[in-house]
Amino acid sequence: MISVGNYNQRLNEAQKDKELETISTHDELTGIHNMRYFMKRAQKMLNKACENGKSLTFLYFDIENFKTYNERYGFIKGNELLVKMATYIKGEYSHGETARLSDDHFVVLIDDDEPQKGIDVIQKRLSDIEGETFLRIKAGIYKTNGMKKDGSGPEDISLLCDRARFAATSIKNKSDKSYCIYDEKLHEQQLRKRYIISHIDSAIENGHIQIFYQPVMDAKKGSVCGLEALARWKDPQYGLLSPGEFIEALEEFRLIHKLDKHVIKLVCEDIRAAMKVKDKPLHVSVNLSRLDFDLCDIAQDIIDNAKDIPRDLLVIEVTESTLNESHTELKKAMERIRRDGFKIWLDDFGSGYSSLNVLKDYDFDVLKIDMRFLEDFGKSDNLRPILENIIRMAESLNMHSLAEGVETKEEYDFLKDLGCDMVQGYLFSKPLILDDLKIFLESDTYRKHTILTG
Ligand code: C2E
Ligand code: MG
Ligand code: MG
C-alpha cells in the first residue's frame, strides 16, 4: 500500500521529471522547442521522407535589426519580441516542427513546399507591432528530398539547416526581400565562402592578396593628392575576387584582421619603396574593419608597421558602421592611432543610422561622403542642399570633405561648385595595380584632367 506521504512524494518527483523533460526539450524564453529537440525530431522526419521519397522544406528565420531593437528598447522588450515572433511562427507552421535555435534565430521543418504565404503573414504581424515598421524578417527556404547527393542515406540535418540559414543571410540589408530560396547559385556562393575562409592563410602566404590603388583627387586643382588602398584576392581557382565577396565572409568568421594586418604591411612596403624614389610620395589610406579592434591590437600593429614612415603618408579609414556602438576599447585604440600622428578618415558617411552621433563622439580629419548619395544625382532636388550642408558641416568641424563614386564630369563640376575638397571615382581612375598606377600618373588621361580642371 502506498501512503499519502509516499504518493505525494512520487507525484512531486513525477512533476519534477516532467519539468526537467520540458527544460531539455523546450526553449525557456519562448516555450517552443529548442535546438536539441528539433534536431531529434527533424532527423525522424527526414528518415521517413527519404523512405517515402517525399520532399521537405527547411525554413530559417532571422529578425533584421533585432540588435538595434534591443539597444533601443532594452532587454525585456527584446525578449517580448522574441516570444511574439515564436508565437507567430508556431501559428503559421503548426503542422510542422518549429524551434528557436539561438538569439533571434528560428527554424521550421515542414512537408509542404509553399511556405511563402506564412512568411508574408509573419512579416505583416511583426510590422503591425505598434511603431515597429523597421522590423524585417529575413527567411531562408531550403527544399530537399533529404538524401545525400550520392544517395547513400539521409543528409546531415545541420547541413540542411545551414543552407536555409545561408539563404536568409544572403538577403541581409536587402530591404525589398523578406525571403530567399536556396538554389544552385547560392550553393556555389556558399562553396566560395567556405573556400575563402579556409584559404585566407595560404592566400596571404602565397602572395595572392594584392593592393590596388585608387587615386584621390584634389577637387580644385584636379590633380592626384592621395591614394586609397583596396584589397584584391587573385586566386588560382576563382580568379580575381573583389572585397565585396571576401570581406563579408572574413568578417562573419572573424578572420578579417588577418587580411587587414597584411594589407597594412604591404602598403607600408610600397610607401617605403616610393620614399626611395620621391621626396614626397602620395599618402595612402587603408580600410579597417570594426572587428580589427576586437580581434587584434590594430593600433599597435599600425604603429609597428609604420615605424619608419612619416605619419602623414599613411591614413586610416574607418567606416561609419564601425562606430555604431559605443565601445571604450575601440575609442581608446582610435585615440592612440591619432595621438601617434596618423590621420583618421570617416568612410561611407551618411550610409548608416548614426552618422551624426559618430561625429559627436569621435574626431576625424576627413569626411568621406558615401557614394550612394551620387546615385540620386540628377534625380533629386534635395541632393544639392543635403550635400552642401554636409560639406559645410565638415568644414565647421575642421574636417575636409571627400566625395566618393564620382563617375561623370557633371557630378564632378557639381561637387566642385559646392566646395567639396576632394573627389574619388571612376571618372578619374578605377583602382589600379601599382604598375598601372605609375602609367596612369604619367598618362595623357591624367594630364588631360589636370589641364581640364587645373
Ligand atoms: P570603400 O572603402 O568605400 O571603397 C570604395 C569602393 O568603391 C571600392 O570598391 C572602389 O573600387 C569603389 N569605387 C570607387 N570609385 C567608384 C565609382 O566611381 N563608382 C563605383 N560604382 N564604385 C567606385 P571595392 O574595391 O570593391 O571595395 C569595397 C569596399 O570593401 C571598400 O569600400 C572597403 O570598405 C572594403 N575594403 C576594400 N579593401 C579593404 C581592406 O583591405 N580591408 C577592409 N577591412 N575593407 C576593405
Ligand atoms: Mg574606404
Ligand atoms: Mg567608402
- The CA 431 to ligand 2 mean position distance, Å, reads 12
What is the pLDDT confidence band of residue 328, given thresholds at 50, 70 and 90?
A: confident
Phi, psi of 378 (to 5 degrees): 80, -5
For the CA of 289, the nearest atom of ligand 1: 44
What is the pLDDT confidence band of residue 22, given thresholds at 50, 70 and 90?
A: low
For the CA of 263, the nearest atom of ligand 1: 41
Is the separation of the CB atoms in 358 and 320 below 8 Å? yes
DSSP state of 280: S
Task: With H, G, I as helix, E, B as strand and everything else as coil, classify residue 236.
Answer: coil
What are the Cα distances from residue 346, in Å, to 74, 316, 338? 29, 9, 13
Q: What does the pLDDT average to over 380-406?
A: 96
Domain boundaries, the chain: 21-182, 210-449
Q: Please state which of the ranges 40-49, 67-76, 92-101 shows the lowest mean pLDDT.
A: 67-76
| pLDDT digit string, tens, across residues 61-77 | 999 989 888 888 899 99
What is the pLDDT confidence band of residue 358, given thresholds at 50, 70 and 90?
A: confident
Q: Please state which of the ranges 175-179, 228-232, 396-400 shows the lowest mean pLDDT.
A: 175-179
Domain 21-182, CATH class in plain words:
alpha beta
What is the pLDDT confidence band of residue 133, given thresholds at 50, 70 and 90?
A: low
**Among all chains, which residue has been given the C-alpha cell 525554413?**
59
Cβ neighbors of 117 (< 8 A, separation 6 or more) are: none
All three cell numbers of 34, joined, read 529548442
| pLDDT digit string, tens, across residues 200-222 | 999 999 999 999 999 999 999 99
pLDDT above 90: residue 282: yes
pLDDT above 50: residue 451: no
- The CA 230 to ligand 1 mean position distance, Å, reads 6
Output the residue whose Cα is nearest ligand 1's atom 2. Answer: 287
Of 353 and 48, the structure prediction assigns the larger pLDDT to 48
CA distance 211 to 269: 11
Nearest residue to 365 via CA among 329, 321, 402, 418: 402
- The CA 33 to ligand 3 mean position distance, Å, reads 43
Is the separation of the CB atoms in 94 and 33 below 8 Å? no
CA distance 355 to 349: 6
Output the residue whose Cα is nearest ligand 1's atom 10. Answer: 431
DSSP annotation string for 25-74: HB-TTT-SEEHHHHHHHHHHHHHHHHHHT--EEEEEEEEETHHHHHHHH-
Ligand nearest to the CA of 374: 1
CA dihedral (217, 223, 226, 232) in degrees, to 10, reads 70
Nearest residue to 266 via CA among 223, 237, 309, 226: 309
Output the residue whose Cα is nearest ligand 1's atom 4. Answer: 230
What is the pLDDT confidence band of residue 355, given thresholds at 50, 70 and 90?
A: confident
Name the pTM for this structure: 0.82
CA distance 436 to 43: 56
Handedness of CA 276, 277, 279, 281 (dihedral sign): negative
Output the residue whose Cα is nearest ligand 1's atom 30. Answer: 243
- The CA 431 to ligand 1 mean position distance, Å, reads 9
Strand order in the sheet with 56-64: 33-34, 97-102, 105-110, 56-64, 136-144, 179-181
pLDDT above 90: residue 134: no
DSSP annotation string for 401-424: EEE----SHHHHHHHHHHT--EE-
What is the pLDDT confidence band of residue 149, given thresholds at 50, 70 and 90?
A: confident
Domain 210-449, CATH class in plain words:
alpha beta
DSSP annotation string for 91-121: HHTTTSEEEEEETTEEEEEES-S-THHHHHH
Residue 405: CB within 6 Å of ligand 1? yes
Residue 289: CB within 6 Å of ligand 1? yes
Residue 162: CB within 6 Å of ligand 1? no
- Pocket test of ligand 1: the residue of 210, 211, 230, 252 to mutate, having most ligand atoms within 8 Å of its CB, is 230
For the CA of 288, the nearest atom of ligand 1: 44
Of 169 and 323, the structure prediction assigns the larger pLDDT to 169
What is the pLDDT confidence band of residue 192, given thresholds at 50, 70 and 90?
A: very high
Q: What does the pLDDT average to over 228-235?
A: 98
Percent pLDDT > 70 in the chain is 92
All three cell numbers of 227, joined, read 591614394
CA distance 448 to 452: 6
CA distance 54 to 48: 8
All three cell numbers of 127, joined, read 510590422
Q: What is the pLDDT of residue 29?
A: 93
Residue 425: CB within 6 Å of ligand 1? yes
What is the pLDDT confidence band of residue 351, given thresholds at 50, 70 and 90?
A: confident
**In this structure, which residues have their CB less than 5 angstroms from ion ligand 3?**
347-348, 404
| pLDDT digit string, tens, across residues 414-446 | 999 999 999 999 999 999 999 999 999 888 666
pLDDT above 70: residue 1: no
Q: What is the pLDDT of residue 454?
A: 35
- The CA 142 to ligand 3 mean position distance, Å, reads 34
- The CA 11 to ligand 2 mean position distance, Å, reads 66
Tell me what the pLDDT averaged over the chain comes to. 90
- Pocket test of ligand 1: the residue of 217, 265, 287 to mutate, having most ligand atoms within 8 Å of its CB, is 287
All three cell numbers of 398, joined, read 575642421
For the CA of 256, the nearest atom of ligand 1: 44
For strand 33-34 and strand 97-102, is the pairing parallel, antiparallel, or unpaired? parallel
Output the residue whose Cα is nearest ligand 1's atom 22. Answer: 405
